């Protein structure tokens, strides 16, 4: 910065020298930092895929639950219509509906648990990436201090 000047605590920087130093810094970046953008894109894709998978699992669970409940209600109606086993049919139909609702609840809980596991894995992956980025930034700061 031979051409830089100070005027009332303000620094004026030679633009050519600034660009030269900036390009030198870019060239010195470790490969890990250069690949951080790729890793970030991969992480975003993984999140999108996980959300998509979770949504599909939830939709399938809801559809299966609705189908099971409808089948249970149809079964309940059929059993109720049979007069000689009316009381038994009502109790059995209630059990079927309760079982279908329990199955639906468990299926949804399973899908939610899977989504949480995927997101936790993603969080761990992103944490490792952040560590790599921080280490790269620290190396650059150390290099800048050593050269400055």
**75, 94 contact by CB (below 8 A):** no
Summarised one tens digit per residue, pLDDT across range 19-56 is 888 877 777 666 666 677 777 787 788 878 878 887 88
CA–CA separation, 87 and 140 (whole Å) = 79
**25, 140 contact by CB (below 8 A):** yes
Whole-Å CA distances, 29 to 20, 41, 78, 94, 135: 15, 19, 73, 67, 11
Summarised one tens digit per residue, pLDDT across range 44-88 is 888 788 788 878 888 888 888 888 889 888 887 776 666 666 777
Nearest to 140 by CA among 36, 16, 52, 17: 36
Place of tokens 């079927």: 96
- Residue 12 shares a structural domain with residue 85: no
Structural domain harbouring 20? 1-32
- Residue 44 shares a structural domain with residue 60: yes
pLDDT band, very low/low/confident/very high, at 138 (cuts 50, 70, 90):
very high
What is the predicted pLDDT for the residue at 69? Answer: 86
- Residue 94 shares a structural domain with residue 140: yes
């Amino acid at each position: 910065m031979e051409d830089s000047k100070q005027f009332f605590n303000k620094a004026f920087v030679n633009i050519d020298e600034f660009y030269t130093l900036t390009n030198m810094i870019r060239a010195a970046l470790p490969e890990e930092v250069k690949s951080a953008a790729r890793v970030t894109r991969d992480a975003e894709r993984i999140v999108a895929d996980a959300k998509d998978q979770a949504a599909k699992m939830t939709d399938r669970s809801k559809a299966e639950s609705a189908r099971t409940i409808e089948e249970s209600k149809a079964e309940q109606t059929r059993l109720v219509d049979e007069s000689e086993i009316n009381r038994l049919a009502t109790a059995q139909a209630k059990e079927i509906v309760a079982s279908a609702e329990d199955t639906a609840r468990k299926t949804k809980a399973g899908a939610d648990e899977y989504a949480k596991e995927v997101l936790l894995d993603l969080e761990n992956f992103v944490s490792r990436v952040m560590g790599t980025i921080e280490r790269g930034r620290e190396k650059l700061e150390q290099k800048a201090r050593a050269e400055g």
